[in-house]
Amino acid sequence: MITTSGLTKVYRSRGREVTALDGVDLHVREGEVYGVIGQSGAGKSSLIRCVNLLERPTAGTVTVAGQDLTALAGRGPRAGRELRQARSRIGMVFQHFNLLSTRTVQDNVELPLEILGTSGKERSRKALELLDLVGLADKAKAYPAQLSGGQKQRVGIARALAGDPKVLLSDEATSALDPETTRSILQLLRDLNRQLGLTVLLITHEMDVVKSICDSAALMENGRIVESGTVSELLATPGSELASALFPVGGEATGEDRTVLDVTFQGEAATQPVISQLSRTYNIDISILGAAIDTVGGLQVGRMRIELPGRYEDNVVPVGFLREKGLQIDVVGESQLVKEGAK
C-alpha cells in the first residue's frame, strides 16, 4: 500500500546541507498498522511528510496504492490535480491537533470536504457520521477550546477521515496526551484500522505505542531504517534492537562462570512452565535476573533474562532444550555470542 524506494531528503539553508532521509526503503502492506520509531532527529517526521508529499523528496520515489506520487510532483497543472486527488485519499493526524479555534468541531471536520467542493448538506451528513464514529457526536457544536486533549485528537482523526482515505498517517498523534488518553486514542486507531480497512502508518518515539497496536515496525537512526519487520519476526530475531527495546530486561551475571540468556516467549509458549521443566529435567539451579511480559497483537509475549551455572560450553544441551520448546534464545555477553555463532 505504501512503498518508498531510495527516499532521500536534504535540507539546504545558508550554504549548509542536512540529510534528514538517507535512502529510505519502506514497505507497508495493505491493512496493517505500521510504526516507525526513533529518537528526535532520526528523520521520522521528514519520512511521514514525504509520504504524502507535504515535503518534496530530494531523490527517490513514494508509491501509495499503486500510484507514484513523486512522478506527479511539479509536472504541470494536470499532474498537480492528480497529486491533489491522490493526497485527498491520504488522511493525516497531527501531534498538536491543528484545529481552527474559530470553527466548531463539526466545521473543523467539514473543512477538507469544503476544499473538495462537497455540497453543504453532504458535508454536514458526513461530518456528523464521522463524529459519531470517533465518539464525539454530542460535541458537534462545541469549539476546540471546550475540549480535552483527547477529544481534540478525536476531532483531528475524524477530519483526517473526511475524504474516505485508504491510508492514515499519524505524526506523533499521542505524544501530547496523558497515558490513559493515549491508550484510548490508540484503541480508536486500531478499531478504525479494522472497521474501515485503513492502512495506518504512524511515527512515534514511544515503544508502548508500537507494542499496543502495531503489526510491523521499523527503527530509524540518522535518516536510515536500520531494522524492520513484523513485530513477531523482530521478537524472533537474535540481537534485535527493537525487540530488546519493546521488552527490556536487565540483570548481570553474578560470577565469571555463569551463562546468561535472554529468552523470548510468544503465543502458547508464554504460558508454559518451560523454565521449571528445564530446572527439573537437568537438575539446574536457575536464577531469574529480570522479566517482562505483555500482550502484542492479541498474543502474550514475554522476555526473561536467566542465569545458568557454568560457562556456555557447559550449557549447550539445556540451551538446545529451550530452543526445542520454540523459544528464541540470545546469549548475553560478547564472548559468548562469538561462541554461539561458531556453533
Supply the DSSP string of 61-73, one letter for each residue.
EEEETTEEGGGTT
Q: Are the C-beta atoms of residues 322 and 306 closer than 8 Å to each other?
A: no
Do 305 and 336 sit in the same domain of this protein? yes
Do 260 and 112 sit in the same domain of this protein? no
- Angle at 226 (CA atoms; ends 220, 232), nearest 5 degrees: 95
- What's residue 77's pLDDT? 62
Among candidate residues 209, 235, 261, the one where a domain is terminated: 235
Q: Coil, strand or helix: which one is 178?
A: coil
Lookup: cell for 170: 499519524
Do 137 and 225 sit in the same domain of this protein? yes
Residue 30 domain-assigned (yes or no): yes
- Angle at 289 (CA atoms; ends 287, 292), nearest 5 degrees: 125
Q: Which helix (H) or strand (E) holds 174?
A: none
DSSP 235-290: HTSTT-HHHHHHS------SSSSEEEEEEEEEGGGGGS-HHHHHHHHHT---EEEE
Do 50 and 188 sit in the same domain of this protein? yes
In sign, the C-alpha dihedral spanning 194, 200, 205, 210 is: positive
Q: Return the percent helix, strand and coil in the chain, to nearest 5.
A: 40, 30, 30
- What's residue 337's pLDDT? 42
Strand partners, 61: 5
Q: Could you give the CA distance from residue 309 to residue 282 in angstroms, rounded to a whole number? A: 12
Which residue, among 110, 124, 213, 121, has the nearest Cα to 170 in the 3D structure?
213
Q: Could you give the CA distance from residue 135 to residue 123 in angstroms, rounded to a whole number? A: 18
Q: Could you give the CA distance from residue 149 to residue 128 in angstroms, rounded to a whole number? A: 20
**Total number of domains constituting the chain:** 2
Do 79 and 129 sit in the same domain of this protein? yes
- What's residue 342's pLDDT? 42
Do 231 and 296 sit in the same domain of this protein? no
Amino acid found at 82: E
Residue 241 domain-assigned (yes or no): no
Q: Residue 83 is part of a domain; what is its CATH number?
A: 3.40.50.300
- What's residue 298's pLDDT? 66
Among candidate residues 235, 261, 281, the one where a domain is terminated: 235
Which residue, among 30, 58, 73, 65, has the nearest Cα to 216 in the 3D structure?
30
- What's residue 302's pLDDT? 82
Among candidate residues 235, 267, 282, the one where a domain is terminated: 235
Domain enclosing residue 298, as ranges: 247-342
- What's residue 240's pLDDT? 84
Residue 242 domain-assigned (yes or no): no
Q: Coil, strand or helix: which one is 168?
A: strand
Residue 180 domain-assigned (yes or no): yes
- What's residue 343's pLDDT? 43
In sign, the C-alpha dihedral spanning 171, 173, 174, 175 is: positive
Amino acid found at 211: K
Do 200 and 253 sit in the same domain of this protein? no
Do 75 and 181 sit in the same domain of this protein? yes
Amino acid found at 216: S
Lookup: cell for 46: 521528514
**pLDDT tens-digit readout, 184-229:** 999 999 999 999 999 999 999 888 888 889 999 999 999 999 999 9
Q: Could you give the CA distance from residue 282 to residue 277 in angstroms, rounded to a whole number? A: 9
Residues of the chain under the 50 pLDDT cut:
334-343
Q: Are the C-beta atoms of residues 27 and 6 closer than 8 Å to each other?
A: no
Do 64 and 147 sit in the same domain of this protein? yes
- What's residue 328's pLDDT? 86
Which residues, at least 6 apart from 16, have a Cβ–Cβ distance to it below 8 Å? none
Residue 107 domain-assigned (yes or no): yes
Do 82 and 167 sit in the same domain of this protein? yes
* CA-atom Rg of the chain in angstroms: 24
Give the number of other CB atoms < 10 A from CB of residue 58: 16
Do 137 and 202 sit in the same domain of this protein? yes
Lookup: cell for 1: 500500500
Q: Could you give the CA distance from residue 167 to residue 5 in angstroms, rounded to a whole number? A: 18
- What's residue 93's pLDDT? 93
